[in-house]
């Protein structure tokens, strides 16, 4: 797995995961929607920890700030 997520992308995912977990554990959102959001929060947290998003691969998205050489 080659990293394809930048630090800002990872920060946003962790922030969204925290908000989703907060909403679920404070019973603001519950039921099926709450469980779906909790699963998304887990996926967001996992992908931000490994800096790799499998959905970015088919679209060739890379949010890292890597300078590429001029040819």
The reported pLDDT for the residue numbered 69 is 59
- Reference 63, options 48, 45, 41, 42; nearest CA is 48
Average pLDDT, the chain: 92
Q: Among positive and negative, which fits the CA dihedral 8, 11, 13, 19?
A: negative
Query: What region does 30 belong to: left with phi over 0, alpha with psi -120 to 50, or beta?
Result: beta
pLDDT exceeds cutoff 90 at 49: yes
DSSP H or E stretch at residue 50 = helix 31-50
Domain ranges for the chain: 7-56
pLDDT exceeds cutoff 90 at 53: yes
pTM for the model: 0.84
pLDDT in tens, 2-28: 899 999 999 999 999 999 999 999 999
The reported pLDDT for the residue numbered 65 is 80
């Amino acid at each position: 797995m080659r990293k394809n997520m930048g630090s800002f992308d990872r920060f946003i995912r962790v922030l969204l995961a925290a908000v989703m977990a907060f909403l679920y554990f404070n019973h603001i959102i519950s039921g099926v929607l709450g469980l779906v959001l909790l699963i998304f929060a887990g996926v967001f947290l996992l992908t931000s920890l490994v800096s790799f998003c499998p959905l970015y691969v088919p679209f060739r998205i890379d949010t890292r700030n890597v300078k590429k050489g001029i040819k």
